[in-house]
Amino acid sequence: MDFTYRYVLVAVLRPLLEVLRNELTSALTCEKVKLRTALHVAAVGGHEAVVKLLITEGADVNAVHKEGATALYAAAQDGHEAVVKLLIAEGADVNAADEDGASALYVAAQDGHETVVKLLVGDGADVNAVQKYGATALHAAAVGGHEAVVKLLVAEEADVNTAQKDGSTALHVAVLKGHEAVVKLLVAEGADVNARLLLDMKSGGFTERTDGAGPTTIHLAAYEGHLGVVKQLLNQGAKAEARTDEGLTPLHQAALRGHSEVVDHLLKLNVDVGALSNEGFTPLHFAAGNGHLAVAGLIRVLIGT
Q: What's the chain's average pLDDT?
A: 87
206 beta partners: 201
**C-alpha distance from residue 114 to each of 17, 80, 176 (Å):** 41, 11, 22
Tell me the pLDDT tens digit for each residue of 96-128. Answer: 999 999 999 999 999 999 999 999 999 999 999
Chain centroid to CA 36: how far?
Answer: 24
What are the backbone angles phi and psi of residue 49, rounded to the nearest 5°? -65, -40
What are the backbone angles phi and psi of residue 199, rounded to the nearest 5°? -140, 155
How far is residue 69's CA from residue 72's CA, in Å, rounded to a whole number? 8
User: Which comes out higher in pLDDT, residue 40 or 301?
Assistant: 40
Tell me the pLDDT tens digit for each residue of 59-108. Answer: 999 999 888 899 999 999 999 999 999 999 999 999 999 999 999 999 99
Tell me the pLDDT tens digit for each residue of 8-46. Answer: 334 444 444 443 455 455 444 544 444 478 999 999 999
Mean pLDDT of 209-235: 89
How far is residue 144's CA from residue 150's CA, in Å, rounded to a whole number? 10
Tell me the pLDDT tens digit for each residue of 135-166. Answer: 999 999 999 999 999 999 999 999 999 999 99
Rounded to 10 degrees, the C-alpha dihedral 241/174/162/254 comes to: -20
Domains of the chain: 11-95 (1.25.40.20), 192-305 (1.25.40.20)
pTM across the whole model: 0.84
- Least confident span in 63-72, 111-120, 178-187, 192-201: 192-201
3-state SS, the chain, equals CCHHHHHHHHHHHHHHHHHHHHHHHHHHHCCECCCCCHHHHHHHHCCHHHHHHHHHCCCCCCCECCCCCCHHHHHHHCCCHHHHHHHHHCCCCCCCECCCCCEHHHHHHHCCCHHHHHHHHHCCCCCCCCCCCCCCHHHHHHHCCCHHHHHHHHHCCCCCCCCCCCCCCHHHHHHHHCCHHHHHHHHHCCCCCCCCCCEEEECCEEEECCCCCCCCHHHHHHHHCCHHHHHHHHHCCCCCCCCCCCCCCHHHHHHHHCCHHHHHHHHHCCCCCCCCCCCCCCHHHHHHHCCCHHHHHHHHHHHCC
**Confidence (pLDDT) at 12:** 40
Rounded to 10 degrees, the C-alpha dihedral 222/181/171/112 comes to: -130
**Confidence (pLDDT) at 296:** 87
106: number of CA atoms within 13 Å, CB side? Answer: 20
One-letter amino acid for residue 15 of the chain = P
